[in-house]
Chains A and B, each alone.
Chain A
Amino acid sequence: MNQFIGLIISGLVGGALFAMISVGLVTTYITTGIFNFSQGSVAFACAFAFMELHLAAHIPTIASAAITVLIIAPAMGIGLEAWVFRHLSRAPEQARIVGTVGLALAIPAAVQICLTEVTHIPGAHVIAPAVSNPIALGPTPTRSWNLGHGILFNSNQLIILGFAALTALAYWYILKHTRIGLEMRAAVDGHQLARIRGVKLARVSRYAWIMSFISAGLVGVCGSILLGLGSDSYLVLLFVSAAAAVIGGLRSVPLAFAGGLILGVLENLVSGYVQRGPLAQVAGLGSAAPFVALLGGLWLMSRRRGRVAGTAAAASDAPVALIPPAKSWRNRTGFLVLAVVAVVVYYSVGELWQGVFNQGLAMSVIFLSFVVSTGLGGIVTLGQAAFVTCGGLLAGWFSGSYGFPLWLAAIFAIAAAIVAGVLVALPAIRLSGLQLALATLALAYIFDQLIFEIPAVGNQANGWFLARPRIGSLSFHAESRFGIVLFLALLIVIVLVRNFELSQTGRSVLATRGSRWGAASSGVSIVKARLIVFAVSAAIAAVGGLLLGQTLTEVTAASNPPLSALLWVTIVITIGIRRPAGAVLAGMSSSIFPQLLGYLTTSTQWPALLFGLGAVGLAQNPGGILELHRAQYHWVVRHVAQVWDRHRGGGLVLATAGAPVDFAATPVVDGAQLNGSDAARRTHSADRQRQADNGELPALFVENLRAGYGELEILHGVNLSARGGSITALFGMNGSGKSTLCSVLAGTVDAREGTVFLNGQDASDLGGVDRLRSGLFVVTESRSIFPGLTVEDNLRLTLRTSAEISKVLALFKELQARRDTPAGMLSGGEQQLLAMAPAMVLAPRILVADEPTLGLAPQARERILGLCQALRDRGTAVLLIEERPGEVFDIADDVALIRLGRIEWQRPRSEVSAQTLVNSFLSVTT
């Protein structure tokens, strides 16, 4: 029992570190949609900042810690938010994952390079002394207390627990009791609505990042005593904290905190209790436990039907590019020339460089597995290292321990990797994006800690020698000869990958990636497609691992730790993974680049820094450098075509045959046209401004509005007006563009042409806050409320002062009675009341309500419409958008009809008869 309690208490300390990281992870994920893989690395950077401040500037530890946590950490947060995270939040999910992974590698590399390179400057050891041991924040020597019964506790542990408690308290207070916390929760609950209600999402994100960086800073300052000075342990810290975040469903901050504590205890209990007995030999059981928990958590999350992650940027994955068409004859000759040149170069350089190229070839095979999994299957896989190690290590084990010939051992090893790949795929079938990436990582760690740590498998950590092939008396041992083997193997794998891409299975994989439901309804089996992708990718990675092992002549369990897979992902994304050529270029770069750098600098961290930054920069462009240049090339071609055509006075002809269609690219618009409408717009708006100032313009005036989504235009030139002190009813059937119009008015959809005037002011450039200030209040379709916030919180978001809130509650007794109930639990009528109630106090100049009476009982409808009339009587311009005329028609002053994106007519109600309405709805021309 004593052991149990002791393990729990000390487990809580480790758990406290996980908890502090995971609350930051969840907070930034739910507010910005970015899962920050670099959170652990930030803690690492803060740890070193703290230590260097103390050692170099001789600032006492507490002051150094305060400077680090309160100044340096937030500064990092603000800087990275402006430079990286702001752009990443608009990128597709794959880019967001890879971008932060790149940052996770770049930050420690930068820190270590600074420290290494600085030592070359004479006298620099005064500025940045080498750190040989972590520095404790607490009293030195450490005080410890024996709590009796063999349970011990020391001051460092106390500090960690204290900081964790402080973090928990701070997060709770901020989220529950401050304005910014309210805005964060609102942004999570309803992203669009929050924008409409005037929440500045950029500001909310910035605060979220500052909060999470501060908690990472705390971990860095107090945790280095436990974590040591190696950057790897901070990455592992992040992954375990990710497991804790998953326990919180990637949504709940308190659950994530608790999850961190639980995982710390779990890890400790497992390592504590399995130390006796046959499992004692497997050192990694304790450290594997959190990853098992991570897998379990992800699997549970996938079973939950409801909404999982909060806001997450609305951007979906970039549209899948079609398979690039066949190369033209001219390109193929170029390829041949390149191959001949490469061969000539290869045989004229010395053995050293032949070895470098050989390693590049082996890495190319490994990267080809990414072409299958990420380029084709769209899966960001962070666990490829496990398959690579499988290939080499198991082949070595089978041949070294059991005496199989290497080719037979290789077959077994590849088969084992395929089984592993299927095992990875099975629990992950339903997962996608971030959760899948986390699952692959978890599985890689489980393999690494459990299977590869078995002494027999790893030959007692000595590893296995892998001989190069020999056919009869012909030996391929020499570098130049072995290069042939590698080259042929690479060619074969490329052909296999291309054939796979073009096969039916390959196409079905592409289909499921483009649209899961579309694929499923076409009879394509998602399960089968995913299993095959994982199996093929694993097999290729295993072959690569075997070849790499032969190139390096040995393989150990530690040859390819899970973390190396992160670096591979950044390399391969930077260079480009859509095509095999990208994989080969990436493979050669990964080997040649460090070799070249070795001539310039002694630090080994540069590849991590440069490829990490490359991944951050190019994350948005899944084609990597290759496609970036191709895109630039095509842009130049298009631009030239434009200029040429304008000269000839003809229309626009895009002469880029062979380019992959990329729907994500901004459509090319003829420059002349744009300029024309801008100028016209400007003169018109000057006129309108004058009219508004004279009081001639209606409060809401829409002129010639065109708007839509993507390539689709919904509104084809809408002209509408609503005067103050009147109710304008806009009717239209489904699909006529009512909601789009409402969205444009609210500011969530941009107008492409035409103008919206709010009180005579051109509203094109106004965001949510400014539209509110212009006096616009929008009630969107399906209840403009935040279901997860209480009634009072909902009001607090829209109304600034408590006096206004009290007034509203006094006016609406039913809301008063339910002020602490989550808004999602109110009845339909109460919710609509809640949505519109603030208008009574705010007295907006313009009220736009989209289907305000939809789904309401007659009494509730009456109430709502009564509200509208009250507002009209006060001088508000009320625009009611409805599908069915009904009672709205009765209270309207003006009636308009919208059909197929155009306003058919707008007349005073007196001029509209019931027959007119019927005819319009039935499209009968009178």
Chain B
Amino acid sequence: MRSWNAQRRTTLLAVSAVVLLTAACSSANKQTGDSGVSGGGGSANNSSRGVSDDSIKIAGDLSETLGGNPTGNADVDLGTKARFYVTNQAGGINGRKINYIGSVDDGGSAATLLANVRKQVLDQKVFAISPFDTYAPVDASFFNDQSVPTFGDIISYAACGSKWFFGSDGCVENPTFAETTSVAAIAQYMTGKAPDPTTGAITAPVASDNPPPAGNSYAVITSSNLAQIIPTLKVAAKHVGWDACDYNATVPPSGVTDFSSFAGSIMRSCDGGKGPSVMLYVLPSTQYNVNMLRAMRGLGWKGQAEFAGFDPASLQSADLAPTLEGSIYYDDGVGFEGPDNKATYDQIRSALAGVGKPGTTISQGILAGWQSADLIVQGLTKVGKDLTPANLDKVLNSGWDTPGIAGFSSALSFPTSHTHPAPCWNIAKVESGKYVQATTFTCGQVLNSKTGAVVSGGAAK
């Protein structure tokens, strides 16, 4: 046995030697981004990855499902396609047409996302990534190594630090800054007044045609992977002059079969058992949100339900729609359809017809896709004819202000918006089974999440 072991060891040593020699020889020749410096590497000559004389290759990454449950992100691809269609019809960007090869699903898994992005950049050689709407935690090192401009709804905080990520609402999840939009939105809705431009406070009393809860208290139910938004929401609530309920529990991301224990707990933590005046529901699927809402209503809760984003499919469901009647939806990305943005919505509808999907219900996914596609179009137009990652970095990161679309999407300013959120919002209400715009697109202030101090103010649109 001993001699066998020795023979084995010799073999292994021999093999290792071969490997090391080959590695040393070949890696001296290759220079694929091994410096590890953020944003460095990549060839910097005229021919750029994914860019030819007449086309720009773009691909997207989405989380279409999370734990198997559909997230509603599948439509983002369609919205992107529609927006690119409009640009291509008008001649493209500086003479180049956009070659959008579609988006890939990562199911919320970081490993899948990385594999997808690697394939898109290294194999399919795209120039940029758009849309980028994923729930998977993002690690920026690959994007930095390969200089991949990425435009989308940047949710993951890890992506905020990189100069290559351009979020259509800025950096939404930076824990330094408070999550103000949902609170400000609902406060504005319930009082009928926009926040004070200087202090951001909403001091008017609750309008009388809304069910009058006793006191103005605010609570949120969310899943554990978004637990960090809870303390920032409390700061935001205080900022508008409301009370935040002392409730911190979260639901496991895979959901539970029964929400009554959570419902009971929230009722007891707020207002001596009456529950919060407003409650924000941010659970992974509409079904869970509705189950939770039912549990609350069953306990006699009379407050206002607030949902993030909106989900037309749920209004088609005979089971879910009745519970959702009277709920508020706020969106901090795009404006709901109303008189102030009708032109944009008409444009979206005709673009959808142009890509072969006339009459599609405009869902939140389509709007999000449209919005981030609009951003990349603005950005690439500004970079000009010399379209390389290095030039894009130079042009867009040295001071790029984009006004957004009137009544529809927020104004951004890079490089600040790499790390700051764009605090804009608007509200729709579910009335007779349809979404009806309740407030127009309004922008507010960025607050420090610990102290509540105003960091920057946004002009109301």
Chain A residues with a Cβ under 8 A of chain B: 3, 6-7, 10-11, 13-14, 17, 108, 130, 132-136, 140-142, 144, 146, 150, 152, 154, 225-233, 236, 264, 267-269, 271-272, 275-276, 280-281, 283-284, 286-287, 326, 332, 335-336, 339-340, 343-344, 347, 350-352, 355-356, 449, 453, 455, 460-463, 465, 470, 475, 477-481, 483-484, 487-488, 491, 495, 498-499, 502, 552-554, 556, 558-559, 594-595, 598, 602, 604
CB contact under 8 A between A146 and B298, given known A347-B22, A465-B139: yes
Q: Given A6-B260, A132-B313, verify A283-B251 contact (CB < 8 Å).
A: yes
Q: Say how far A244's CB is from chain B's closest CB, in angstroms.
A: 14
Question: Mind listing 22 A-B residue pairs with CB under 8 Å?
Answer: A7-B261, A132-B317, A133-B317, A135-B319, A141-B318, A146-B298, A152-B260, A226-B258, A233-B67, A267-B256, A268-B258, A269-B261, A287-B252, A351-B32, A460-B227, A460-B228, A463-B139, A465-B141, A478-B34, A495-B12, A502-B5, A598-B115
Cβ–Cβ contact B30 & A480, under 8 A: yes
Main secondary structure of the interface of A (DSSP, over half): helix
CA distance A13 to B256 in the complex (A): 12
Partner of A268, one of B72, B114, B261: B261
B436 within 8 A of A: no
Q: Roughly how many angstroms separate A921 CA and B141 CA in the complex, as a whole number?
A: 87
Could you tell me if B156 and A462 are in contact, using CB atoms closer than 8 angstroms?
yes
The reply to whether A229 and B298 contact each other, CB–CB distance below 8 Å, is no
Contact status of A340 and B18, CB under 8 A, knowing A132-B313, A463-B137: yes
Q: Does B377 contact A (CB under 8 A)?
A: no
- For B222-234 the 0/1 string (1 means CB < 8 A from A) is 0111111000000
B107 within 8 A of A: yes
Chain B, Cβ-Cβ closest to A11: B258
Q: How far is the CA of A132 from the CA of B319 in the complex (A)?
A: 12
Name the residue on B nearest A233 (C-beta). B254
Q: Is residue B16 contacting chain A, with contact meaning CB distance below 8 A?
A: yes
What separation, in Å, do the CA atoms of A134 and B224 have in the docked complex?
23
The answer to whether B260 touches A7, judged by C-beta atoms less than 8 angstroms apart, is: yes
**Contact of B343 with A by CB under 8 A:** no
Contact flag A141-B323 (CB < 8 Å), given A287-B256, A604-B112: yes
- Decide: A461 near B224, CB < 8 A? Known: A481-B34, A553-B139: yes
Q: Is the CB of B137 within 8 A of A461?
A: yes
The reply to whether A481 and B27 form a contact with Cβ atoms under 8 Å apart is yes
**Contact between B15 and A465, CB atoms less than 8 A apart:** no
Question: For the complex, what is the distance from the CA of A287 to the CA of B256, rounded to whole Å?
Answer: 8
State whether A10 touches B260 (Cβ < 8 A). yes
- Across the interface, name the chain B residue whose C-beta is closest to A498: B8
Is there an interface contact between B33 and A478, defined as CB atoms closer than 8 Å?
yes
Q: Mark B118-152, 1 if CB is under 8 A from A, else 0.
A: 11001100000000000001010110000000000
* B86 interface contact, C-beta 8 A: no
Please tell me if the beta carbons of B32 and A479 are within 8 angstroms of each other in the complex: yes
Complex contacts, B254 vs chain A, CB 8 Å:
230, 232-233, 236, 287
Instruction: List residues of B (224-272) whose CB comes within 8 Å of A's CBs.
Output: 224-228, 247-258, 260-262, 264-265, 267-269
What is the CA–CA distance of A475 and B295 in the complex, to the nearest angstrom? 55
Asked whether any CB of chain A lies closer than 8 Å to the CB of B44, the reply is no
Report chain A residues within 8 Å CB of B20: 484
Q: Tell me if A478 and B32 are in contact (CB < 8 A).
A: yes
> Contacting chain A: which of B184-192, B207-215, B283-291?
B283-291
Question: Whole-angstrom distance between the alpha carbons of A364 and B395 in the complex?
Answer: 45
**Which residues of B does A touch, CB under 8 Å?**
1, 4-5, 7-9, 11-12, 14-16, 18-20, 22-23, 26-27, 30, 32-36, 65-70, 72, 104-105, 107-112, 114-115, 118-119, 122-123, 137, 139, 141-142, 156-158, 175, 223-228, 247-258, 260-262, 264-265, 267-269, 285-288, 291, 294-295, 297-300, 313-314, 317-323
Instruction: Decide: A595 near B16, CB < 8 A? Known: A481-B23, A552-B110.
Output: no
Give the docked Cα–Cα distance between A291 and B70 (Å): 28
Given known pairs A284-B252, A475-B34, the reply for A598 and B287 (CB within 8 Å) is no
Nearest CB of chain B from residue A348's CB, rounded to whole Å:
8
Contacts of B122 in A (CB 8 A): 350-352, 355
Query: What A residues does B286 contact at CB under 8 A?
Result: 133
- Hey, which chain B residues are within 8 Å of A351, CB to CB? 32, 122
B261 and A272 contacting across the interface, CB-CB below 8 Å: yes
Measured in the bound complex, the distance between the Cα atoms of B20 and A480 in whole Å is 11
For the complex of A and B, list the 8 residue pairs with the smallest distance between their C-beta atoms, beginning with the closest. Answer: A230-B68, A152-B298, A272-B261, A478-B34, A283-B224, A352-B122, A554-B139, A141-B322
B323 to chain A: which residues have CB within 8 Å? 141-142
Q: Are A598 and B314 in contact (CB under 8 A)?
A: no
Query: Contacts A133-B314, A144-B298, A283-B250 given: A14-B258 contact, CB under 8 Å?
Result: yes
Report yes or no: A280 in contact with B19, Cβ–Cβ below 8 A. Answer: no
With A280-B248, A283-B223, A351-B32 given, can you name 6 additional A-B contacts, CB distance below 8 Å? A3-B264, A11-B258, A228-B285, A326-B7, A449-B252, A465-B141
What's the Cα separation between A559 and B35 when bound, in Å?
27
Given A336-B15, A498-B8, verify A150-B299 contact (CB < 8 Å): yes
How far, in whole Å, are A81 and B343 apart by their CA atoms in the complex? 61
A552 to B267, CA, bound (A): 43
Who on chain B is nearest to A559 by CB? B110
CA gap between A644 and B39 in the complex, in Å: 69
- The answer on a CB contact under 8 Å between B288 and A484 is no
Asked if residues B264 and A462 are in contact (CB atoms below 8 Å), the reply is no
Residue of B nearest to A226 (CB): B257
Given contacts A335-B11, A484-B23, A552-B110, whether A136 and B319 have CB atoms under 8 Å apart is yes
Q: Are A283 and B67 in contact (CB under 8 A)?
A: no
Contact residues in A for B288 (Cβ distance below 8 Å): 228
Closest B residue to A269 by CB, please name it.
B261
- Nearest A residue to B12 via CB reads A491
Residues in B neighbouring A355, C-beta threshold 8 A? 118, 122
**Residue pair B157, A462 in contact (C-beta under 8 Å):** yes
Given the complex of chains A and B, what is the CA–CA distance between A455 and B231 in angstroms?
13
Given contacts A283-B250, A336-B15, A553-B142, contact A558 B225 (CB under 8 A): yes
Query: Which B residues touch A335, using CB under 8 A?
Result: 11, 15
Please, which residue of chain B has its CB at the minimum distance from the CB of A465? B139
Question: Which one of B70, B105, B295 lies within 8 Å of A604 (CB-CB)?
Answer: B105
Q: Is the CB of A229 within 8 A of B68?
A: yes
- Counting chain B CB atoms within 10 Å of each CB, which of A140, A356, A502 scores highest? A140
In the complex, which residues of chain A have a beta carbon less than 8 angstroms from the beta carbon of B252?
283-284, 286-287, 449, 453
Are B110 and A556 in touch, CB under 8 angstroms?
Answer: yes
Assess the B114–A491 pair: CB atoms within 8 A: no
Q: Name the contact of B34 in the complex, choosing from A344, A449, A477 (C-beta under 8 A).
A: A477
Cα distance A275–B260 in the bound complex, in angstroms: 12
- A272–B26 CB distance below 8 A: no
Of listed A146, A225, A275, A595, residue having the most chain B CB within 10 A: A275
Residue of A nearest to B269 (CB): A276
Known: A336-B11, A462-B158. A228 touches B261 (CB 8 A): no
Tell me which of A13, A135, A326, A558 contacts B258 (CB under 8 A). Answer: A13
A contact residues around B262 at 8 Å (CB): 271, 275
Tell me which residues across on chain A come within 8 A of B7, comparing CB atoms.
Answer: 326, 332
Min CB–CB distance B275 → chain A (angstroms): 11
Residues of A within 8 A of B227 (CB): 281, 283, 455, 460-461
Cα(A496)–Cα(B137), bound, Å: 34
Contact A280 B137 (CB under 8 A): no
A355 CA to B141 CA in the complex, in Å?
A: 14
The answer to whether B158 touches A142, judged by C-beta atoms less than 8 angstroms apart, is no
B282 vs chain A, min Cβ distance (A):
13
A-side contacts of B294, CB under 8 Å = 142, 144, 154
A725 to chain B, nearest CB (A): 68
CB distance from B38 to the nearest CB of A (A): 12
- In angstroms, Cα B318 to Cα A136, docked, is 9
CA distance in complex: A225, B319 (Å): 10
Alpha-carbon distance A847/B436, docked complex (angstroms): 87
| Bound form: Cα–Cα A480–B158 in Å | 25
- B16, A461: Cβ atoms under 8 Å? no
Chain B residues, Cβ within 8 Å of A11: 258
Q: Which residue from A227, A232, A343, A453 sits with its C-beta under 8 Å from B257?
A: A227
